[in-house]
Amino acid sequence: MILTIAAAVFVFGLLVLVHEWGHFITAKMTGMRVDEFAIGFGPKLISKRRGETVYSLRAIPLGGFNDIAGMDPENNTAGERGFCAKPVLSRMIVILAGAAMNFILPIVLFFAIYATLGEGQPATEPIIGGVIEGMSAEKAGIKEGDEILSVDGQDVATWKDFTDKLKNIEAGQNISLKFKRGEEINEVTVSPTYNEQEKRVLVGVQSSVVYERKSVAESFTLAIDHTKEITVFMIESIAKLFQEPEQTENLAGPIGIVQMSGQVAERGFIPLLNFAALLSINLGIINLLPVPALDGGHFVNLFIEAVRGKPLGAKAVAYTQRVGIALLLMLMLFATKNDLVRVFLK
């Protein structure tokens, strides 16, 4: 439990810090007055003023904010240094900077992993590198580090041998797995389940990983390419939510993310960094959606202002903000429902 909480605070804190720092630094660079830079919501735990800005850490670590003067044109106390008084381009840069930082963070994290450990590749040996919680292999007692020896009496020499033999197994069919743990040889029965997303049966194990060292230049290129691949995959996955409503069953909210953070942290710090990178990309994409109350919605308003030559009226902005907040609350409630079902009913 302590590890889960610590992992969740680390992941949420890192993502929020980077996102809000993007807004903060560009606001400062464009001459805006920032009254507060906060990590978290609710009561202040720690706060310190440096210059005109208060830097604070708040009690609920599920977000953060920048209090930029002049966000509300009718309550601009900063004059020419208020957000609303700056050129549209400056305001666009500030709005997009948070999401931009969420795409830069994964590049930095992946670069650090590639430059220090190298690029991970599936090992050829039939050694278990990870066991998925709740699936057949975990229920049968198989653990990370076990070496698969045979499937239904057929010898296994490589990980490919193992996966090839599983291809001929039907979902729900009991199969015998013989494996070696240390000097002890064991045999268990598992029942694979069909995974709709991967279109194949799975017993719930992952191969071990070997790392190949990379140069600094190679590490940087790989980090960019990997971030790009994940971004494309996530955009396609979000699009599927609108095309295939049943995919919404996979949505996770704060409870689910906290649970996943703990599970990933149990596998080590590097997997946790990978998880943080994935969430950061996801946060960046979500924030750019043209939904009022999100950064993407603010950007759309600014784009309309640039085309019209004047901002939207206060009533129009207020109305769209209320609609956006209502949509986000509905999505949050739905995702939380999914979390509760996964945690308590599965």
Residues annotated catalytic, as ranges: 20
Q: What are the counts of helices (DSSP H) followed by strands (DSSP E) for the chain?
A: 9, 12
Is residue 154 helix, strand or coil? strand
Q: Among the residues of 30-177, which ranges form H helices?
A: 88-116, 136-139, 159-166
CB-based contacts of 220-224 (< 8 A; 24+ apart in sequence): 220/107, 220/111, 222/110, 222/111, 222/114, 222/119, 223/106, 223/107, 223/108, 223/109, 223/110, 223/111, 223/114, 224/107
Give which of 187, 202, 125 is closest to 153, Cα–Cα.
187
Cα–Cα distance between 98 and 238 in angstroms, integer?
Answer: 20
Give which of 272, 294, 270 is closest to 283, Cα–Cα.
294
Q: Are 132 and 96 in contact (CB under 8 A)?
A: no
The radius of gyration of the chain's CA atoms, rounded to the nearest angstrom, is 24
Rounded to 5°, the CA angle 103-232-276 comes to: 40
